[in-house]
Structure 1
Amino acid sequence: MSENYTINLKAVYSQTVSTLGVKLPDDWSLSWHQRETLEALRDPNIDVVFNTAMTGDGKSLAAFLLAMVDGVSTMATYPTNELARDQQKQVQNYKDKFQPEKDPQIYRLNAAILEDFIETNKLPSKQSGLTNLSNQAEILLTNPDIFYYIHDFRYLRRFKKDGKTKGENANKLFSKIDDNYKLFIFDEFHVFSSAQVASIFNAILLIKHTVPGKKFLFLSATPDDLLLDFCDKSGLNYKPIEPAKKEKYCFSVNGTQWRQISQPITLFFPKTLEPNLSSSYDWLIENSESVILKFFQDYPGSKGAIILNSIAAVKKLVKHFKGIFKPLDLEVRENTGLTGETEKAESVEKADLLIGTSTIDVGVDFRINFLVFEGADAGNFIQRLGRIGRHKDFHPHPYHAYALIPKFIVQRLFEINSSPFQDNETYDRVTFTEAIRSSYPFVNEFKQYPKRWGAIQSACVHQELRRLTHQYPEAEKNFKEAIEAALDVNIWHKYNQINQCLEEKKKKVIDEARSFRGSSQLDCAIYDDTNPEEPENERFKTYNLPGILSNFKFEWVDRKEFIQQAEKSRVTTTRFQEALCCLKLTGYREVREDWRFYYPEDINDIAKSGKVQVLKNLEIRQPQGSGINKISDAVSGRGLVCFISDCDRAYLRAKLGLPIHFQAYSLADKYSSDDKKSPPYTIAFGKSALMLETLLWFRKPKNDEGWIC
C-alpha cells in the first residue's frame, strides 16, 4: 500500500489576444487579462481594478504595461521584501525589453533602505527621504506599510500645545507623493487581513477626495470580497478582470492563441501526518534521502524548494540537507525572516534546494521542478503550490510536489463518500482549487474589524481633513459620507470611542488601531550567531519574543553594548530604539520550549470584562536560559496592548478559526500557575488583541459598558 495519495494536475494555457496597437517586444503577446487590465486603467471612469489571473499568468506585466507604453508614473507595493526584490528585477527586465521613451527610474524602498538613504545623504527626516526618493523614481517599489503611513500622516513634525495638534499640515507629504504617481499597485493583497484592508481603503478614499484622478490596481488570484463591498458602498468605480470566469483558460493544447503558463504537476499527499508542530519536520527527515535526494539523483539539473511555517525547523533542516547534498555538489540555501539581506538576495538564484518560510511563498518567481510545502490554510496551500511549474526549463524531467498537510484534510480529499479526488486521477487547476478551498477548515476573516477598529483610522483621517478645508473644500464631507456608507458607522461615534480610550489612559490602544500590521511591542533586538557565514552587519536584526522563546537558545545583551556593537559594524540603529530588549541568538532548540505568560495577581475580572487592556506586570514563566529573568522584567515593566479571554488557547483557535500565526498565547495567573494542565486563559497582543476582541464584542449587547472601550 502506497504511503501517499497521488493526483496529476493538467497544464494550464492562457488565451492570448491582439495588442490594440500596443508596441510589444519581438515574440511577445498579451494574455486576455493583460489587455483588459490596460484598457481598464486607461478608462477615466474607473477608479479601482482587480486582476485575478492565475499564478504564473503575468499579472506583473499587466500591472506595469501602463508605465512601459504610456509612461505612467507608478508606485507598487508588495507584502514582503523578498517579493519586492524579485519584482525589481522583473520591472527592470520590462524596461530593457520595452525601451520606454521617458526612461523611468526604478527604485526599491523599505524601512531599512529609507534609513540608510537618510543617513547617507545627511537628510533631516524620513519625510525628506521619502520626498527625495519619490522625486527621483518614476517607478517606486515599496511595501503597503509605507504607503499607508504616508496617508496616516506619519513622518510629519507635530507637537501638542494647549491640547491642540500643531506643526506641519497633514497634506505636506501625502499630496506630494500622490502628485508624483498616477497608478498605485497592490500585489498579492489577499495575504492581508481585514485590518490591513481597512487601512488601505482609508488611504484610497483620502487620495480620491484630495488628489483625484488616481488609479488603484489590486493583483490577487482571489479578490477580497470585503474590499469589493467597500468599493460598492463608497461610490468607487471598479472593474474586476476575471479570466477564469470568462473561460480564458484551458487545460490542453488548443490552437495558436493559447500560451502555456503552468506545467503538468504530479502532486503527492502523505497519508499519515498528524496535526502537530513536528510532523512535517519528521517526514522531511525520514524521507530526505529516499524521496528528496533521490529525485535530484534521478533527474540531474533539477531545482527544488521546501516551504515551511517554522523558522526553527528550517534552521535544523538546512544543516541536515547540506550534509546529504554536499557529496552531489548541490547547494542548499535558506531564506527566512531571520536570513540576512545578502543571503536572501542570492538564495533564490543560487540554491539547488531552497528551504524557507513565508518570505518566499508570496509571489516569488521560482524556477523549480520539485517542491515540498506545508499548507496552513486553503489560501496558503494554493499560494505555495503556485511556486512550482511556472517555467518549462526542466523538460523532460517531471514536476513533483509534496503537500504536507494533516491527515484529516487528506481524508476529506480522498476517503469520504463525497471526496473530490481519487488516487492516481488527473484534474484541471480550477476544479482542484475549488476542492482545496472546500476541504480546509474555516479560517476567520474578522469581517467586523473595519467597523469596530478600522473606523478609528477613518476618524483620524476625517479629523485631519477638517483642518484642511481651505485646501480641499469638499474633502471632509465627501470622505465622511463614503466611510460611513462603506463601514456602516457614525464617524462621531468613533470620535467618542477615541475620547473614551484617551480618558482611560489607553492611547496605546488607539495607536495600535492606527498601526498597519501591529506595533511590534514584543519585538526584540537580536544579534544572530546561528549563521556564521552571514556578514557581520547583517547579523543585527529584530524578531518577536514568543518566537525566540519557543525556538532559540539565547543570551542577554546589555542595550548599550548592543548599540555600540551595531554602530561599530556600521548598522543604522534607529530601528532598535523601541525594542523590548537585546539578545544574542546562539542556537536553536531541538524541541520547542514549553513556556507561558504569567500574571502575578487574579486575572479573572480582567478576562470577564471583555476589554482591550494596556496591561503591566506580565511575566514569563518556565523556560530555563541565560537572561530569562531579565526578559521577564522587561515584559513586566512595559504596558502592553492586549486582550484576555477566559477560554484556553486551543479552544479559541478551534472555535473561532484563528489563523495559524495569530498572536494568541497561554496565560496563567496566581491561582492557575501550578496547574499541570494547559493554562486556562488566553492572551492576545497588539493588532491580534483588537481582532480577537472584535469577534466577541459584536456578540454582546451594546448597552453593556464593559464591552465598550
Structure 2
Amino acid sequence: MDFVGERAKDVLLFEARTGSQFIQRLGRIARHAKPSGIPDWAVALVPEYVYHFLAERLREGQHYDRWDLYRWIEEAYQVPEDFGRYLQRHAPAEFCAARARVIEKLFLSESAPQIREALGRLGETLTGAPEGRGWALYHQYREEGILTPLLTFRGSGLEVAIVDERGTDPGFPLKRYDLMVLLRRGAFSELSPDEYEEILNSLEERWPEEVALERRYARLIGTDPGDLLGVYGYFRLTGWLDRPRRVWFEVPEEAVRGRVGQVFVLQELEVYTDPEVPLRRLNRHLRRKRLVAWVMDTHPAALRLGRSLPPLFEVYELRLRRLGGQLSQSPWSIAFNQNAFFLESLGGWRVRRKEEPAIVL
C-alpha cells in the first residue's frame, strides 16, 4: 500500500511472499527524512511460518542492527522451489526427443556414430541420467501420450479467444486470454464458433493482418493430448468484476483412481464457478479434450505453501464427482501439461488412503 504524493510515511502496510520482497518493501519507510520524531510502523502480511520464525526473535521496543534483521528475514523464508529434480526425472526424455526429432537429422550419415556418442555423453552431463534411461523414458512417455507437453514452453496452455467490448482499447478488439483469469474476474458471455467467425469477417477489411493471425491461432483446440495450440472457447468480454469468482475443476472420481501423484492423460474434465455463470460450450469441449494432468489430494493453497511453489505457478482447485453426483468434501489440486511434470518431479508426495498413508517417490 503506497501513499500517493506523500514523501514521509508513518505507516507502511505491505504483502511479502519472499524475503527479497519483505526487505525491498520495508526499505520504503526509510527513503525520506521525517519531519518529526513519531515512530514508524510497518505491518507485513507474511506466511504463517514466517510470522512464527520472526516472532521468536523480534521484541517490541528493542533495537536491531539492519543487517541482522535482513539476515533473519531471508532465513525465515523458504527459497522458492526451483524444480531441480526435473533435470533427473524428466529432462532425459526431453533431451532424447530433441535428438530424435531435430539434432541427429542435421548431420551427414557418415558422421552419425560419432555424433550419437557425443550426444549421449552430453545428455548424461546435462541431466545426470544414463543415456539408456533417457531413451526408455522417451518411448514410455510417447506410448502413454504425455510426451508433447515436455517439448513446449506453453505452460498450462488454457487459453480462450475474447472479443473485448469494454470500450477502453481503441485497437484490435480480438485477443487471446488466460481462461482462469477470465473466469475469475471477467464479465462475459459465451460465443459460438460461428458467431466468432462472423466477428472476424466484419473486422477483416480494417485489420487484415490481425484477423489472419487470429484465424491461425484462435482455432478451437484439438482433443488429443498432443494438441496444445488453440483455444478452449470464445467469449465476449464486457468488463471486470469488483470481486473475483471462485473457480474449480470437476472430474469423475474413477478418472483419477490409481493415478494420484502421477502424470497421466485425463478426460471428462469440467469447470465451474461461484457465483455460477453459463459455461455450456466450454464444458462440452473440456469433456472431450484429453489433457496431460497431475492431481493430488491436497488443497492448492496448502500445496503452494508446503512446497514453496513460485508465486505465479499454475495449480488449480479440483473436486471429484462420486457416483450419484456428490462432490468430494476436501478440494484437491490439479496441474496441466508441463506444470504437471514439474510437480511430479518433486516426489515425496503423501497420498491419503483409506487404510494407511503412502509416499509417492
State if a TM-score over 0.5 links the two structures.
Answer: yes
**In the alignment, which residue of structure 1 is the partner of 2:330?**
678
**In the alignment, which residue of structure 1 is the partner of 2:171?**
536
Q: Using a 3 Å threshold, how does the CA distance of structure 1 residues 374 and 583 change in structure 2: closer, same or farther?
A: farther
**In the alignment, which residue of structure 2 is the partner of 1:41?**
none
Residue 134 of structure 2, aligned match among 488, 494, 499: 494
CA distance in 2: counterparts of 1:411 and 1:659, whole angstroms: 19
Q: CA deviation at 1:397?
A: 9.9
Q: Deviations over 1:150-191 (max 9, x none)?
A: xxxxxxxxxxxxxxxxxxxxxxxxxxxxxxxxxxxxxxxxxx
**In the alignment, which residue of structure 2 is the partner of 1:466?**
104
Contact 2:267 2:290 in 1 (8 A): yes
Contact 1:469 1:476 in 2 (8 A): no
Code of the aligned partner of 1:579: V
CA distance in 1: counterparts of 2:130 and 2:249, whole angstroms: 38
Contact 1:413 1:421 in 2 (8 A): no
Residue 511 of structure 1, aligned match among 139, 148, 153: 148
Q: Using a 3 Å threshold, how does the CA distance of structure 1 residues 666 and 293 change in structure 2: closer, same or farther?
A: same
**In the alignment, which residue of structure 1 is the partner of 2:217?**
575
**In the alignment, which residue of structure 2 is the partner of 1:550?**
184
Code of the aligned partner of 1:602: E
Q: Deviations over 1:71-122 (max 9, x none)?
A: xxxxxxxxxxxxxxxxxxxxxxxxxxxxxxxxxxxxxxxxxxxxxxxxxxxx
TM-score (norm 1): 0.40
Q: CA deviation at 1:697?
A: 7.3
Code of the aligned partner of 1:596: W
CA distance in 2: counterparts of 1:435 and 1:587, whole angstroms: 44
CA distance in 2: counterparts of 1:575 and 1:420, whole angstroms: 57
CA distance in 2: counterparts of 1:561 and 1:425, whole angstroms: 64
**In the alignment, which residue of structure 1 is the partner of 2:314?**
663
**In the alignment, which residue of structure 2 is the partner of 1:427?**
66
CA distance in 1: counterparts of 2:115 and 2:27, whole angstroms: 43
Q: Deviations over 1:469-490 (max 9, x none)?
A: 4297654332321220331112
Residue 565 of structure 1, aligned match among 199, 220, 227: 199
Secondary structure in 1 aligned to 2:340? helix
Residue 243 of structure 2, aligned match among 591, 608, 619: 591
Code of the aligned partner of 1:496: A
Code of the aligned partner of 2:80: V
Q: CA deviation at 1:379?
A: 5.0
Q: Using a 3 Å threshold, how does the CA distance of structure 1 residues 476 and 387 change in structure 2: closer, same or farther?
A: farther
Q: CA deviation at 1:519?
A: 5.4
Q: Does 1:523 align with 2:159?
A: yes
Q: Using a 3 Å threshold, how does the CA distance of structure 1 residues 453 and 407 change in structure 2: closer, same or farther?
A: closer
Contact 2:291 2:336 in 1 (8 A): yes
Q: Using a 3 Å threshold, how does the CA distance of structure 1 residues 599 and 411 change in structure 2: closer, same or farther?
A: closer
CA distance in 1: counterparts of 2:92 and 2:263, whole angstroms: 16
Contact 1:414 1:423 in 2 (8 A): no
Contact 2:156 2:335 in 1 (8 A): no
Q: Deviations over 1:574-630 (max 9, x none)?
A: 33230111112222233332232111353452434x431221211123445554122
Q: Deviations over 1:202-257 (max 9, x none)?
A: xxxxxxxxxxxxxxxxxxxxxxxxxxxxxxxxxxxxxxxxxxxxxxxxxxxxxxxx
Contact 2:54 2:72 in 1 (8 A): no
Code of the aligned partner of 1:427: R
Q: Does 1:482 align with 2:193?
A: no
Q: Using a 3 Å threshold, how does the CA distance of structure 1 residues 699 and 454 change in structure 2: closer, same or farther?
A: farther
Residue pairs, 1:264-663, within 5 angstroms:
284=1, 292-293=3-4, 295=6, 374-378=15-19, 405-406=45-46, 408=48, 411=51, 415-417=55-57, 419=58, 427=66, 434-463=71-100, 464-470=102-108, 474-504=114-144, 506=145, 509-518=146-155, 520=157, 522-530=158-166, 532-537=167-172, 539-566=173-200, 567-568=203-204, 570=207, 571=210, 572-573=213-214, 574-577=216-219, 578-603=230-255, 605-608=257-260, 610-624=261-275, 626-663=277-314
**In the alignment, which residue of structure 2 is the partner of 1:689?**
340
Q: CA deviation at 1:640?
A: 1.1
CA distance in 1: counterparts of 2:283 and 2:83, whole angstroms: 31
CA distance in 1: counterparts of 2:196 and 2:305, whole angstroms: 41
Q: CA deviation at 1:658?
A: 2.8
CA distance in 2: counterparts of 1:674 and 1:639, whole angstroms: 23
CA distance in 2: counterparts of 1:373 and 1:529, whole angstroms: 34
Secondary structure in 1 aligned to 2:90? helix
Code of the aligned partner of 2:217: R
CA distance in 1: counterparts of 2:188 and 2:63, whole angstroms: 47
Code of the aligned partner of 2:257: D
CA distance in 2: counterparts of 1:426 and 1:489, whole angstroms: 46
Q: Deviations over 1:675-705 (max 9, x none)?
A: 58433x32111222111111237999xxxxx
Contact 2:270 2:283 in 1 (8 A): yes
CA distance in 2: counterparts of 1:403 and 1:542, whole angstroms: 38
Code of the aligned partner of 2:178: N
Residue pairs, 1:194-209, within 5 angstroms:
none
Q: CA deviation at 1:403?
A: 7.6
Q: Using a 3 Å threshold, how does the CA distance of structure 1 residues 600 and 460 change in structure 2: closer, same or farther?
A: closer
Code of the aligned partner of 2:330: S
Code of the aligned partner of 1:607: R
Contact 2:92 2:133 in 1 (8 A): no
Secondary structure in 1 aligned to 2:169? coil
CA distance in 1: counterparts of 2:55 and 2:155, whole angstroms: 41
Q: Deviations over 1:523-552 (max 9, x none)?
A: 11123344x332231x43222222222222
CA distance in 2: counterparts of 1:626 and 1:561, whole angstroms: 19
Code of the aligned partner of 2:84: K
Secondary structure in 2 aligned to 1:678? coil
Which sections of structure 2, spanning at least 5 residues, go unmatched? Answer: 220-229, 352-359
Q: Using a 3 Å threshold, how does the CA distance of structure 1 residues 596 and 410 change in structure 2: closer, same or farther?
A: closer
Q: Using a 3 Å threshold, how does the CA distance of structure 1 residues 446 and 534 change in structure 2: closer, same or farther?
A: same
**In the alignment, which residue of structure 2 is the partner of 1:105?**
none
Q: Deviations over 1:245-288 (max 9, x none)?
A: xxxxxxxxxxxxxxxxxxxxxxxxxxxxxxxxxxxxxxx5xxxx
CA distance in 2: counterparts of 1:434 and 1:378, whole angstroms: 9
TM-score (norm 2): 0.73
Residue pairs, 1:137-152, within 5 angstroms:
none
Q: Using a 3 Å threshold, how does the CA distance of structure 1 residues 490 and 500 change in structure 2: closer, same or farther?
A: same
Q: Deviations over 1:493-527 (max 9, x none)?
A: 222222223323x1xx211111125251x111123
Contact 2:19 2:73 in 1 (8 A): yes
Q: Using a 3 Å threshold, how does the CA distance of structure 1 residues 674 and 443 change in structure 2: closer, same or farther?
A: farther
Q: CA deviation at 1:449?
A: 0.6
Q: Using a 3 Å threshold, how does the CA distance of structure 1 residues 475 and 604 change in structure 2: closer, same or farther?
A: closer
Count the aligned residue pairs.
324
Secondary structure in 1 aligned to 2:162? strand
**In the alignment, which residue of structure 2 is the partner of 1:164?**
none
CA distance in 2: counterparts of 1:381 and 1:517, whole angstroms: 31
CA distance in 2: counterparts of 1:502 and 1:513, whole angstroms: 11
CA distance in 2: counterparts of 1:525 and 1:409, whole angstroms: 40
